[in-house]
Structure 1
Amino acid sequence: MLVRDAMSTMVLTIGPDHTLRQAARLMSARHVGAAVVLDVDADGIGILTERDILNSLGAGQNPDYETAGTHTTTDVVYAAPAWTLQDAAEAMAHGGFRHLIVLDDREPVGIVSVRDIIRCWAPSRRHPTSLAAG
């Protein structure tokens, strides 16, 4: 299975001047764990994750003043839609992160997460089976 088959095509894009509170509200409303941060001045694509926001709050920083640009990861590993899920999982495991921005012709077209990969690899069960011995 390929990244294009598993990725979410709902890409939340924010700017570096969004506050962390604004970013968290947008991420929550769209039920996503990461936002692509586009900085037109720096001509770059970064990512802000729920973990970045959590770390800022845990450090006692004010989410109304802290900006996405300050907490954005800019040293990003990107995936291609034609990557296998194995390639994506290996990149995540090697880099220690849970989201990959998917680029097609240098444009963000999706995000693939560990959760997306697990959904594809683990068949869903409609009725959980009991593990208790009868």
Structure 2
Amino acid sequence: MQVEEAFHPGTLTCDATDALADVARKMIAERVGALAVLDDDEIIGIISERDLVRAIAEQADPWQTTATAFASHQLETAAVGEDTRDVARRMLDAGVRHLPVKRGPEVVGVISMRDLLAIETWL
């Protein structure tokens, strides 16, 4: 199966300068575990629930600390035409649970480990 058949279209994002508290609120409101971090219109990273937990453990001020301070900047992406098993292996190797999905240079959504598990479970 290809990523195009399994990913969530539409990219949920936050701004690089958003406070961690606002990032957490957006994740709760959208019921997601990660957001793409944008600087202007360019994706510069991804921030996840794990990153927020790390911020708490490091006693970061959630109102003053920005998303970019705790986002993962070594960004892996998946292509819409990529095989889901290959993506799952890359995610496991990298220790990540979410990848932005690209069609050419454009980010068009996100795929999660949960999406990939659902494919394997229900097929």
Q: Does 1:3 align with 2:26?
A: no
Cα distance in 1 between the residues matched to 2:58 and 2:90: 28
Letter in 1 for 2:121: A
Q: Which has the higher strand share?
A: 2
1:70 maps to 69
Q: What does 1:75-86 align with in structure 2 at a 5 Å threshold?
A: 75-86=74-85
Give, in whole Å, the separation in 2 of the partners of 1:13 and 1:102: 13
Q: Distance in 2 between matches of 1:8 and 1:56?
A: 27
Distance of 1:44 and 1:28 partners within structure 2: 21
Q: Distance in 2 between matches of 1:107 and 1:45?
A: 13
Structure-to-structure mapping, 1:82-97, within 5 angstroms: 82-97=81-96
Match of 1:40 in 2: 40
Q: Which moved more, 1:4-13 or 1:29-38?
A: 4-13
Tell me what 1:117 maps to.
Answer: 116
What is the total number of aligned residue pairs between the two structures? 123
Mark the runs of 5 or more structure 1 residues left unpaired by the alignment: 125-134
- 2:60 is the alignment partner of 1:24: no
Segments of 4+ moved more than 4 angstroms:
none
Deviation at 1:11, TM superposition (A): 1.8
Q: Is the 8 A contact 1:44 1:74 kept in 2?
A: no
1:44: how far off? 4.4
Q: Tell me if structure 1 keeps the 8 A contact 2:102–2:109.
A: yes
Letter in 1 for 2:9: T
Contact preservation (8 Å) 2:99, 2:111: yes
Question: Residues of 1 paired with 2:43 and 2:7: CA distance?
Answer: 21
| Contact 2:36/2:43, CA 8 A, preserved across alignment | no
| Alpha-carbon distance in structure 1 between the residues aligned to 2:24 and 2:43 | 21
Give the aligned partner of residue 13 of structure 1.
Answer: 13
1:40 CA displacement: 2.8
Task: Report the residue type matching 1:94 in the other structure.
Answer: D
Q: Which amino acid aligns with 2:20?
A: L
Q: How does 1:43-54 map to 2 (within 5 A)?
A: 43-54=42-53
**What TM-score does the superposition give when structure 2 sets the normalisation length?**
0.92
Partner amino acid for 1:9?
Answer: P
